[in-house]
Structure 1
């Protein structure tokens, strides 16, 4: 597939997403996107808000395994969606009138919290602020959920043990201590994974994926695809790459 063909597919996807967003009766862009994500996930998980944003930025394309789910969610057949995205047949003028309208209940109403997701400090402050609105019983449930989430994150990075230099205190009376990542590499995250399956899922050439698994530095676009395939937040993979490769690729992230 040529670069032009990929760009055409991404542009048609963006056109479809804009059509859906136009039906949501809110002004704020983030709220529109959240409403559309809620709508297309109503029958089952199709995408996250983070992946949806990457769709719009042309950094990611809906996975082959999820596109039938997306078609069902927006009200067309998988064949119609594949034809529209891949070849423009049917075109937007033919396909969009066939799609059902998004029900009004998916439009977000009421005051929405505004959080700068690029700022860790803003996220932490917002969490602490929201805690004030929870009962003690609910705070206990949140604490338990946070512990489980931290343990899950540790397993994602391969930290299946706690060492003296990597203390993680999960006892509520003792509080939390942030773990350090003891030299985890991008290649380590691919160990034991089915590379062919990942390649098919996110359209990353198998040969290139094997090279990354052997220790090569991933390009910016490749890192975005890996984040989607491994279900690891992109900013965390970028953190690992910065530590492992000392920012060398950031000057040429768009080179092929």
Structure 2
């Protein structure tokens, strides 16, 4: 089993690091008390998880003092444990909290952000030397994601490409990165014999194969997506969603979505 523990100062990028590990295939848990680590790992192991990332920070401060002992116990059990301690300069953290307008987790007693940071440093003093310390003051979120993925040996260029068909009359998918409107193409819906079928059925496939515009539209979309895939990869994106829409989401969008998925699956970028 491989365990990555993430700790550090609030605002230093712990959530970014945890999401990067999740994108890399780790089972991730945010804010687990240190004393629950052995029990949690046993449970995750029973469910077949062997790569786990857990955030342990001052939100569960009563158990922080037990973290060094728990890490030692886990290593004695043969667990490959690494701890990433994220930090940043005080002025950087203050600026980040100001820009995001988020409260500091320790600000419940009406302390200033600066006072919360100093208190957090005291609470974390016994664990910051347990692992790798990363100063994120001059590191962008994308740079941190790339650094974390390299640390665990994950392929930072891996990108999952998802194709989705939809009907405009049912609403536009908000999660789409690329959205293409193919309502300008001939619509088999107006042929009563073709209407019951979908873009996956042979009668509809034959209809579109006889329509040169459909092949031209499909190729134009393929080229557009293929052209920008490398750029999205360089930006450390893990997922990219391409949505194809027609009026009802039954014929044109389904057919073109199936065609694009097949064409780009066979491509190498």
TM norm structure 1: 0.23
The structure that has the greater radius of gyration is 2
Higher relative contact order, structure no. (Cα contacts within 8 Å, ≥ 6 residues apart): 2
The TM-score with structure 2 as length reference comes to: 0.22
More helix by share: 1
Higher strand fraction: Structure 1 or Structure 2?
2
